[in-house]
Structure 1
Amino acid sequence: MADIEAPGNRTRAGVRRWIGWLLAVPIIVPLVTPLFNVSTPRLWGFPAFYWLQIAFIVVGSAVTIVVYRTAVVREGE
C-alpha cells in the first residue's frame, strides 16, 4: 500500500493516463470522413482516399509505438 501512495507513483499514473489518450487519435481521425472524402490531391496518381488510408495506418502505428515505449520506460523507472 505504501507504493501506491508515493508521490512519484501518482505522477506516473497521470502521465500514463494522458499518454493512453493518444491511442484515441488513430481511432477518431479515420472517422472524420471529410478528411478523405475527396479525390484530390493525388499522390503518384492515387486519389486522396487511398493514400490517406495508408497514412492512417502509419500514424496509428507511430502513435502505438510512442505509447508503448513511454509505458515501458515509465514502468522501468
Structure 2
Amino acid sequence: MRVVIGLCLLAPFAAMLWVGSYAKVDPQFIGIPFFYWYQMLWVLISTALTMVAYKLWQRDQRARRGGAGR
C-alpha cells in the first residue's frame, strides 16, 4: 500500500524533472504549445494522484489501528 502511495506522490516529480520529454512546441492544443499544456495537464494529474495517495493513506491508517486492537 505504501509503495503505491509513494508512486502516486513521486510520479509528478519524475514527469516534470524529465524536461527533454516535453520541451517541444508540437503538438499544439487549441493554439497552446505542448510545453505549456503538458505542464498544466500535470497540475490536474498531480491533484488527482495526491488525492488518491491521501485516501490510500487514510485506509492504511484505519487498517493499522483496527488490527492493533486485536
Q: TM-score, normalised by structure 1?
A: 0.72
Amino acid paired to 2:33: P
**Which of 32, 37, 44 is equivalent to 2:23?**
37
Number of the residue aligned with 1:53: 39
User: Matched residue of 1:51: which SS?
Assistant: helix
- What are the residue-to-residue correspondences of 1:1-77 with 2, within 5 Å? 15-16=1-2, 18-22=3-7, 23-77=9-63
Amino acid paired to 1:73: R
* RMSD between superposed Cα atoms in Å: 1.1
> Aligned partners of 1:20, 1:67: CA distance in 2, in Å?
5
Displacement over 4 Å in runs of 4+: none
Asked which structure has the greater CA Rg, the reply is 1
Amino acid paired to 2:16: P
User: Matched residue of 1:55: which SS?
Assistant: helix
Q: TM-score, normalised by structure 2?
A: 0.78
Q: Structure 2 stretches of 5 or more lacking a match?
A: 64-70
Higher deviation after alignment, 43-52 or 20-29: 20-29
- State the shift of 1:72 in Å: 0.7
